[in-house]
Amino acid sequence: MSTSYLQLIRFALPEVIVVATALLVLVVDLLLLRKQSLRTRFAMTSVLAVVGCLSAIASLVLAPSLGSLYGEMFLANPLVNFVQIAVLALTIFTLLLTVDSSFTNHVGEFVFLVLLATTGMLFLVATLDLLVIFTSLELLSLSLYIMTAFDKENARSSEAALKYFLFGGMSAAFLLFGFSILYGLSNSTSLLQIAASIHGVSPLLVIAIVTTVIGFGFKVAAAPLHFWAPDVYESAPIPAAAFIASGSKVASFFVFFEIMAVGLAGASGGAAWLHFTNGWVPAVAAVAALSMVLGNTVAIVQSSVRRLLAYSAVAHAGYMLIAIIGHTQQNLSALLYYVVTYGLATIGAFGVIGVVERQTGNDRLDSFNGLSRRAPLLSACLFVFLLSLAGIPPLAGFFGKFYLFVSALHATPGSSGLLWLVVLAIAMSAVSLYYYLQVLKRAFVTAPSVEGEMLPVPAVTQAVVAVLAFGVVLFGSFPNLLLHWIQSALAASGW
């Protein structure tokens, strides 16, 4: 090991900045802000954290490092940088939503955990090594478990966290088991090495594939491993839920894609209709199909908006898995575009839910009655987010789907191999319009239960939500802004 620590720090500068900010936040909150009101503490710590994340982004933009360290353990290339920036940006939005919160006394700890989770994600996406993947994934997961439980006055929050933790622990065990088999098969933890030694499918590899898919299926909340999601989405504090639904999705999907497309490229198999061939593709295809169908149909009967979003997240995970099934470069760019814009819309939606919840005390559909009369701008933003999730042009969600499906069809020779999945996905997204419209119907059609009363909307939340909505419209109308970036990053990173 000839690399100096300086070089390592230079290489992992964003991670270092985030960790340092995390510690700073903890210290500042403990030492300086104890006496302040809850509001001030949330505001101060969040702003501090935002500044930290911004500097991390700045370091990525202004002084991007390239190359790799310790084999593929630490990787820095434009693609990784892009994903890292995306993760940091989503973290910033989550933190800004925290500014107006009041769900806990342990402000510093909460923000600290957010930043720690972010660190986990930054490492997670910057590696091609199973060991680092596993450890950073655990860092991320543990932070998320705790964040979920942070609302101590809400018993359901703890319950959800426990559920999340138990399922998460089990899936981590599966994942580790799978990784160990891969290591056994290839005698290496580097994905590139593994790829070099896997040609065709062996029984042992099948076990590895199944356990890996289970592990990541849990992370991305794909059916049938989604059971934690509705509870967590429903009961976690708003910022935590938004974070789980956005940033962690980006990182998990990216890594999942890398493991499958890079590490297991030799055992992909095929999922063309009636021509399934052995490998991980049919397994993921089954999970994807199940997720789309189950997520969309179960979402219809929800009366809690957060649970509705949870099931819709299952469905979206299904769509995104199609990109993994295709596993070409184009699929990756489609996946990244999709997951980032999905993250923006989801955080925005949670932001709106947070405001409504604070006033009415719950997130039932009825609480949204007449929202357009009570908070016109907020409801306009909700309109944008939900329709983007439904895939209505010109919003980002539409182009995301369009590009995702185009690239999926393109991925197989003859263009018709994955057609059945694409047809299923498009059919299911038609179903999804129904439940998104259910929410919007409450907001725009139904009369408010109390006439004439305006909803107090915190300025910061309002601004964040508006910016997110603008982003969704902007990226939807001009997808090239994001797409061009992704594609050039991909091209520059040797994909």
Partner 1 sequence: MLAWTIYISFFGALVLLLLPRSSTTLARIVAMLTAVTGFAIALIAFVEHRSGELQTIVRADWMPTLGIQYHLAADGISLCLVLLTGVVAITGILFSWNIEKRTKEFFAFYLLLIGSVYGVFLSYDLFLLFVFYEIVIIPKYFLIAIWGSTRKEYGAMKLAIYSFVGSAMVLVGLIAAYVVAGEHSMSLDALAGFAFPVHFQMWAFPLVFVGFAILAGLWPFHTWAPTGHVAAPTAASMLLAGVVMKLGAYGCLRVAMTLFPLGLAPWGFHFLGLGSWRDVFSLLAVIGIIYGAMVALVQKDFKFVIGYSSVSHMGFILLGLMTLNTIGLEGAIVQMVSHGILAGLLFGVVGRMVYDRTHTRELAALGPMNLNKAIPFAAITFVIAGMASMGLPGFSGFAAELMILLGAWHAFPWLAVGTGLGIVIGVVYVWRAMQKAFFAESVTGANHPPLEPISFPERLGAGILIACSVAIGLYPQMLTKVIVPALNSPLFDGLRKGGWQ
User: What is the binding site for partner 1 (CB under 8 A)?
Assistant: 372, 387, 392-394, 398, 402-403, 405-406, 409-410, 415-416, 419, 422-423, 426-427, 429-430, 433-434, 437, 441, 444-445, 478-480, 483-484, 487
> For residues 338 and 398, which CB has a smaller minimum distance to partner 1 in the complex?
398
> For residues 242 and 386, which CB has a smaller minimum distance to partner 1 in the complex?
386
304 forms beta bridges with: 364
Least distance to partner 1, CB of residue 266, Å: 26
Least distance to partner 1, CB of residue 484, Å: 7
> For residues 33 and 482, which CB has a smaller minimum distance to partner 1 in the complex?
482
> For residues 156 and 441, which CB has a smaller minimum distance to partner 1 in the complex?
441
Q: What one-character-per-residue DSSP string does 332-381 give?
A: HHHHHHHHHHHHHHHHHHHHHHHHHHHHHSS-BGGGGTTHHHH-HHHHHH
Least distance to partner 1, CB of residue 479, Å: 6
191 SS3 class: helix
Sign of CA dihedral 249, 254, 257, 259: negative
Q: What one-character-per-residue DSSP string does 390-439 give?
A: HT-TTSHHHHHHHHHHHHHHHHSTTS-TTHHHHHHHHHHHHHHHHHHHHH
> For residues 251 and 469, which CB has a smaller minimum distance to partner 1 in the complex?
469
Q: Phi and psi of 420, rounded to 5°?
A: -60, -35
> For residues 190 and 372, which CB has a smaller minimum distance to partner 1 in the complex?
372
Amino acid at 302: Q
Spatial distance between the Cα atoms of 47 and 41, rounded to a whole number of angstroms:
10
Chain-centre distance of CA 416, in angstroms?
29
Q: What one-character-per-residue DSSP string does 59-106 give?
A: HHHHS---EEETTTTEEE-HHHHHHHHHHHHHHHHHHHHHTT--S-S-
> For residues 119 and 487, which CB has a smaller minimum distance to partner 1 in the complex?
487
> For residues 146 and 486, which CB has a smaller minimum distance to partner 1 in the complex?
486
Spatial distance between the Cα atoms of 67 and 51, rounded to a whole number of angstroms:
27
Least distance to partner 1, CB of residue 427, Å: 6
> For residues 123 and 435, which CB has a smaller minimum distance to partner 1 in the complex?
435
Least distance to partner 1, CB of residue 123, Å: 31
8 SS3 class: helix
In whole angstroms, how far apart are CA 111 and each of 152, 251, 460? 16, 19, 17
> For residues 358 and 401, which CB has a smaller minimum distance to partner 1 in the complex?
401
> For residues 277 and 416, which CB has a smaller minimum distance to partner 1 in the complex?
416
Least distance to partner 1, CB of residue 428, Å: 9
**Which of 359, 362, 227 is CA-nearest to residue 305?**
362
Q: Phi and psi of 268, rounded to 5°?
A: -75, -40
**Which of 326, 224, 191, 196 is CA-nearest to residue 270?**
326
Residue with tokens 């390239």: 66
Spatial distance between the Cα atoms of 281 and 283, rounded to a whole number of angstroms:
5
Least distance to partner 1, CB of residue 308, Å: 16
Least distance to partner 1, CB of residue 426, Å: 4
Least distance to partner 1, CB of residue 495, Å: 15
Q: Which two tokens stand for residue 123?
A: 């490492």
Least distance to partner 1, CB of residue 194, Å: 31
Least distance to partner 1, CB of residue 350, Å: 22
Contact 322, 421 (CB under 8 A): yes
> For residues 103 and 405, which CB has a smaller minimum distance to partner 1 in the complex?
405
Spatial distance between the Cα atoms of 264 and 364, rounded to a whole number of angstroms:
43
Least distance to partner 1, CB of residue 366, Å: 15
74 forms beta bridges with: 69
> For residues 119 and 388, which CB has a smaller minimum distance to partner 1 in the complex?
388
Least distance to partner 1, CB of residue 487, Å: 6
Spatial distance between the Cα atoms of 261 and 399, rounded to a whole number of angstroms:
23
Spatial distance between the Cα atoms of 88 and 65, rounded to a whole number of angstroms:
17
